[in-house]
Amino acid sequence: MIFLIIFILGLWRTFVKAGQPGWGAIIPIYNIYLMLKTAGRPGWWLILLLIPVVNFIVWAIVCIDIAASFGKGVAFGLILLFLLNGLGFLILGFGDAQYKGRRQPNNSRETGFLSHRPGSWRDKRPLRRQRREKPGF
């Protein structure tokens, strides 16, 4: 019970820093949706969190993105947010970390099918050529 209260306090303060409603930390599914928005991920990723095995991978990505949006590194995201999430959100909420917005890709390797950000491969696809109609057909 004490762990739950500590987790809610840290998550509440983290949401407030990110410009999200703090009371969202106490609503079960909505708090995950707010975490996805804080990480800069689409809301439909909530469905991916319901799939066994896939949810671990998706949650690790979300934790890394939340850490990056507060100016922290991958190690902070994986160790303190993914493994020890109550402690990580307490540090983000009550520490001196400032919300910097969602993480922007640094190089072309970070823009793939998981990014859904402007400048990704979807924006660089060549336009389809229109078919020429053959005369006489």
Q: Kindly list the domain boundaries of the chain, sorted by start residue.
A: 2-120
For 109: left if phi > 0, alpha if psi spans -120 to 50, otherwise beta; the answer is alpha
For 119: left if phi > 0, alpha if psi spans -120 to 50, otherwise beta; the answer is left
Asked if residue 22 has pLDDT above 80, the reply is yes
| The Cα angle at residue 91 between residues 111 and 30, in degrees rounded to 5 | 65
Describe the crossing of helices 54-69 and 28-39 by its angle, rounded to 10 degrees: 60
Q: What tokens does 34 get? A: 């707010």
Please tell me the distance from the alpha carbon of residue 17 to that of residue 13, in angstroms, as a whole number. Answer: 6
Average pLDDT over residues 40-48: 94
Asked if residue 47 has pLDDT above 60, the reply is yes
Asked if residue 109 has pLDDT above 60, the reply is no
Which amino acid, residue 117?
A: R
> What digits encode the pLDDT tens for the residues 87-100?
999 999 999 989 98
Please tell me the distance from the alpha carbon of residue 43 to that of residue 49, in angstroms, as a whole number. Answer: 11
